[in-house]
C-alpha cells in the first residue's frame, strides 16, 4: 500500500487494482471504474479525483501497457469528477510539454463538468515570455471530467434510416433554435431537452425535415480572447472533449446528466422519424498554437496528438486557421477519432456526422490525399461506414478546396452549388450552364467518381455567412458587434440587397426580397441532391447583416420566433411537400438526356423561353438569364403503397433571373396537353383552381421569378 499525496496537507492510502488498458477513458462496470490513458511521453501518470468541495486525491496509475497507463478503482461510481497530471519532460523545442502542475482533461472523457477560469495557471509559460515555464497549479481553474452511468433505457429505439435521396437536412444550433420559442418552458430553453420538445419536433415534421444537423455539441471551450471582450464562442468550433456532450446545453444539473438528456433527445427525435447528424470538429482542438493553454492533449502527449513544424517542434502546423491541426498520421490520434465516432453511433445512437474542415483529416503529411489512413479506416469500419458521412470539403491550407474530391461513400457540402445559385438569382452573367449543372446534381463533380446526385449536399446558406433574409437585404457585411472593426467574416458574399442596404420601408424592395427568398428555397428544394436548410431561413430570420456570429450568443444570432414570417414558413412547407411527393425531384441517378424509349421523350430537356430546345450557342450566351427545364416523370418508375409499379408526374420549371418579366412558351402537346401551375414565386403557392396552361401557350413569368407547373394528362 502506498501513500498518495492529495491536496496540500492531505495524505491518504489508496491501492488501485491493475485494471485494463482498453477501453480508454473512464469505464464504470457496476462495481467500480477502470481508468486508462495513452501517453508515450509520460514517465508517471496521476489520476486526480475531486470531491464535491474540490478536495483533490492523487492516485498513481500502477500499470502501463503499450503506452496506456491504467488502473481500476472499486466503488468509484458515476458522478465522480476527475482529471490527470502527467509527469515527464518539458522541452517545447523538442515537442514535449509535460507539466504535472497542470490538471488535464481526459481526451476520452464522456462528460465534463464546469468551465474554464481563464488565468495564468492554465498556461505552461509566463505571459510575455513564451520560452519560460509556468508552474502555477491549474486545478482550481479547470473543469473536471465525470465518470458517467453508461446504462440507458433506449426502449425500441431504432435509426430512421432515411435514404439520402429522400432526405431534407436542417442545420441548427441547440441554443439558437430554441432559446426564444414561446411554447418551450423557460427552464429548458437552449438545451437538448428543448430540441426534443413537441414545439420543435412539430415544426420540423411540418417542414418535411428528415434529419437535424446539430452544430458542435462536443464539449468546447470559450476562447479567453472572447471572454475578455464580453463575448463567447457561440458556434462551438473549439472542441476539447470528443466523446462528451457539452454541459452548457443541458438542463440536468447533475454531473454527467447531460449524457442522459442527450440520449433522451435522440430517442425522441427518432420516434418522430428525424435523424440526428452531428457537426464534428476533429481537425483541431481548443488548445490553439504555441501560445495557447495546456488543457488536455498538449500536456498528455503533444507530439502524438498535434501536427508540429518539422524543423522547430515548439510550433504547430495550422491548416484550420485556429492554431493547431490534429495529427491524423499518428495511430493513437486516429484511434481517438475513430473511437469517438463509434461511441456516438453505438452508445448515443446518432445517425451521421458532418466533418468540419474535412480536408485537414486527409493531410497525412502535407498535401491533401483523399486515400489517407483516416478515410481507409472509415471505409473499413463496420459501424462508422454505415452512417451518413458529410464532408465540409475544404480547409485553409494549400490545395484544401476539395469539392468533388472525397471518397465514394462520402457526401459533401457543395460550395459550388451555393455560389452558382446565388450568382444566378442576383443576375450575374454567364451562369446559365453551371446553374443547370448544379440544379441537376452536379454530375461534373461527382459522376466520374462513381457517385450519385446525393453526393451533393445542396445549400444556399449555412451557419457561416448571411442568413437567407440577409442575403437579399445586404450588399456588405455588418460585423461591428464582433469587436474586430468589421474585418472578420467573408467579404465576397454573392449577396444583393435588392435596392436598399438593410431594413427599408420601400414596398417594392421588400416585395422583391420576399420573392428572392422564395426563389432560393424553391430552387434548393427542387434541385437534385440533398437539400440543407439553415435554421430560421424558413422564418425570415435576420442577423442584421452580421455574417459571422460565431461570438454572438444573444438575440442577434438566436431564432426570433416572435418575428417569424409565417407566409414564408407555409410556402417552404408546401415546396418541401412537393419534393416529398414526387421522386422526379429526388432522383437516385443522374439524368442522361436520352429518350426513355425509342422515339420517346428524354428524361430531361432544357428549353429556351420560346419553347425551342437549348442549343450549344444558347448555352454560351453570357447575357441569358432565363431558361425552362422539362423533367420527365416517366423516367422514374417506382412502387406505390399498393405494390403497383407506377411512374411519377412530369414537371416544367420556368426560371427567370432577368430584371424584366419574360413570356415562356409551353412545349408541344406530346409533352403534355396542359400544365397546372403549382408554385409562382411572385405570388407564392398557386390556388388549386388556377387556370391551366395549354400546350404551346405562353405564360408571363415575373422579373426574377420562378414558376413550377405539373403536367395534366388527358
CB 199 within 8 A of CB 561: no
- Beta-bridge partners for 298: none
pLDDT band per the 50, 70, 90 thresholds, residue 402: confident
> For all residues of the chain together, what is the average pLDDT?
93
Residues 6+ away with beta carbon under 8 Å from 526: 575, 578, 579, 585, 653, 708
Helices 566-581 & 507-526 angle (0-180, nearest 10):
20
Look at residue 357 in the predicted model and tell me its pLDDT: 82
12 pLDDT exceeds 50? no
| Domains, the chain | 25-147 (2.60.40.10), 592-712 (2.60.40.1180)
H or E element in which residue 709 lies? strand 705-712
Q: How far apart are the first and last CA of the chain?
A: 91
CA distance 527 to 531: 8
Q: Phi then psi for 522, rounded to 5 degrees?
A: -65, -45
CB 387 within 8 A of CB 350: yes
Q: Within a 13 Å sphere around the CA of 410, how many CA atoms are in the beta-carbon half?
A: 27
Look at residue 624 in the predicted model and tell me its pLDDT: 87
Q: Phi then psi for 527, rounded to 5 degrees?
A: -80, 150
pLDDT one-digit tens code per residue, 318-354: 988 889 999 988 999 999 999 999 999 999 999 999 9
pLDDT one-digit tens code per residue, 417-471: 999 999 999 999 878 999 999 999 999 999 988 899 999 999 999 999 999 999 9
What would the mean pLDDT of 30-35 be, rounded to a whole number? Answer: 96
To the question of pTM greater than 0.75 for the whole model, the response is yes
Pairing of strands 352-355, 275-280: parallel
CA distance 141 to 114: 9
List, by residue number, the catalytic residues.
Answer: 356, 392
596 pLDDT exceeds 60? yes
Helices 415-425 & 507-526 angle (0-180, nearest 10):
140
CA distance 280 to 356: 6
Q: Which residue has the cell 476562447?
A: 223
Look at residue 638 in the predicted model and tell me its pLDDT: 66
DSSP single-letter state for residue 301? H
Amino acid at each position: 500500500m502506498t501513500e498518495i499525496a492529495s491536496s496540500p496537507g492531505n495524505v491518504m492510502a489508496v491501492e488501485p487494482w491493475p485494471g485494463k488498458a482498453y477501453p480508454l477513458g473512464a469505464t464504470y462496470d457496476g462495481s467500480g471504474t477502470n481508468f486508462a490513458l495513452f501517453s508515450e511521453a509520460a514517465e508517471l501518470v496521476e489520476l486526480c479525483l475531486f470531491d464535491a468541495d474540490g478536495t483533490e486525491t492523487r492516485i498513481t496509475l500502477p500499470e502501463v501497457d503499450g503506452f496506456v497507463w491504467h488502473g481500476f478503482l472499486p466503488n468509484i461510481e458515476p458522478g465522480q469528477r476527475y482529471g490527470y497530471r502527467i509527469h515527464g519532460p518539458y522541452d517545447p523545442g523538442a515537442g514535449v510539454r509535460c507539466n504535472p502542475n497542470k490538471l488535464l482533461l481526459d481526451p476520452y472523457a464522456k462528460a465534463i463538468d464546469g468551465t474554464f477560469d481563464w488565468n495564468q495557471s492554465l498556461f505552461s509559460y509566463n505571459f510575455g515570455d513564451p520560452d519560460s515555464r509556468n508552474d502555477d497549479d491549474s486545478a482550481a481553474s479547470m473543469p473536471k471530467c465525470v465518470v458517467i452511468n453508461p446504462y440507458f433505457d433506449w426502449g425500441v429505439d431504432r435509426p430512421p434510416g432515411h435514404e439520402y435521396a429522400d432526405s431534407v437536412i436542417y442545420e441548427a444550433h441547440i441554443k439558437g433554435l430554441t432559446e426564444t420559442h414561446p411554447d418551450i418552458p423557460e427552464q429548458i430553453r437552449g438545451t437538448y431537452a428543448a430540441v426534443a420538445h413537441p414545439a420543435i419536433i412539430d415544426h420540423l415534421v411540418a417542414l418535411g425535415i428528415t434529419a437535424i444537423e446539430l452544430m458542435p455539441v462536443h464539449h468546447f471551450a470559450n476562447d479567453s480572447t472572447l471572454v475578455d471582450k464580453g463575448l463567447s464562442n457561440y458556434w462551438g468550433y473549439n472542441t476539447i472533449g470528443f466523446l462528451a456532450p457539452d454541459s452548457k446545453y443541458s438542463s440536468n444539473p447533475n454531473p454527467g446528466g447531460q449524457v442522459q438528456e442527450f440520449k433522451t433527445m435522440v430517442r425522441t427525435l427518432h420516434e418522430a422519424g428525424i435523424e440526428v447528424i452531428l457537426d464534428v470538429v476533429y481537425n483541431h482542438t481548443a488548445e490553439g498554437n504555441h501560445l495557447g493553454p495546456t488543457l488536455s492533449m498538449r500536456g498528455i502527449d503533444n507530439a502524438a496528438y498535434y501536427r508540429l513544424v518539422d524543423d522547430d517542434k515548439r510550433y504547430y502546423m495550422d491548416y484550420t486557421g485556429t492554431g493547431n491541426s490534429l495529427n491524423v498520421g499518428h495511430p493513437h490520434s486516429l484511434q481517438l477519432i475513430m473511437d469517438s465516432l463509434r461511441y456516438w453511433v453505438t452508445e448515443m445512437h446518432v445517425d451521421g456526422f458532418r466533418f468540419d474542415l474535412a480536408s485537414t483529416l486527409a493531410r497525412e503529411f502535407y498535401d491533401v490525399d483523399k486515400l489517407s489512413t483516416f478515410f481507409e479506416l472509415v471505409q473499413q469500419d463496420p459501424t462508422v461506414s454505415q452512417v451518413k458521412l458529410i464532408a465540409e470539403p475544404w480547409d485553409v491550407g494549400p490545395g484544401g478546396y476539395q469539392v468533388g474530391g472525397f471518397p465514394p461513400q462520402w457526401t459533401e457540402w457543395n460550395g459550388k452549388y451555393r455560389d452558382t445559385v446565388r450568382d444566378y438569382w442576383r443576375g450575374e452573367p454567364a451562369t446559365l450552364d453551371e446553374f443547370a449543372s448544379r440544379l441537376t446534381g452536379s454530375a461534373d463533380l461527382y459522376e466520374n467518381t462513381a457517385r450519385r446526385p446525393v453526393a451533393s449536399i445542396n445549400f444556399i446558406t449555412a451557419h457561416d455567412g448571411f442568413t437567407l433574409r440577409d442575403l437579399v437585404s445586404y450588399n456588405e457585411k455588418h460585423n461591428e458587434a464582433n469587436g474586430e472593426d468589421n474585418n472578420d467574416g467573408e467579404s465576397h458574399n454573392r449577396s444583393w440587397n435588392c435596392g436598399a442596404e438593410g431594413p427599408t420601408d420601400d414596398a417594392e424592395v421588400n416585395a422583391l426580397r420576399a420573392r428572392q427568398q422564395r426563389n432560393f428555397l424553391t430552387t434548393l428544394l427542387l434541385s437534385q441532391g440533398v437539400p440543407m436548410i439553415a435554421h430560421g431561413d424558413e422564418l425570415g430570420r435576420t442577423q442584421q447583416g452580421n455574417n459571422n456570429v460565431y461570438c454572438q450568443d444573444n438575440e442577434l444570432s438566436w431564432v426570433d420566433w416572435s418575428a417569424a414570417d409565417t407566409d414564408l414558413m407555409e410556402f417552404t412547407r408546401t415546396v418541401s411537400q412537393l419534393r416529398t411527393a414526387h421522386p422526379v425531384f429526388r432522383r437516385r441517378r443522374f439524368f442522361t438526356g436520352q429518350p426513355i424509349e425509342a422515339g420517346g421523350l428524354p428524361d430531361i430537356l432544357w428549353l429556351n423561353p420560346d419553347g425551342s430546345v437549348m442549343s450549344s450557342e444558347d448555352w454560351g450566351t453570357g447575357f441569358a438569364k432565363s431558361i425552362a427545364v422539362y423533367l420527365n416523370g416517366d423516367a422514374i418508375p417506382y412502387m406505390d403503397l399498393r405494390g403497383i409499379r407506377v411512374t411519377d408526374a412530369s414537371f416544367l420549371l420556368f426560371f427567370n433571373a432577368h430584371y424584366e418579366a419574360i413570356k415562356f412558351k409551353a412545349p408541344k402537346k406530346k409533352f403534355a396537353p396542359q400544365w397546372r401551375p403549382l408554385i409562382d414565386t411572385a405570388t407564392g403557392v398557386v390556388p388549386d383552381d388556377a387556370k391551366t396552361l395549354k400546350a404551346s401557350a405562353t405564360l408571363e413569368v415575373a422579373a426574377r421569378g420562378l414558376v413550377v407547373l405539373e403536367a395534366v394528362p388527358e
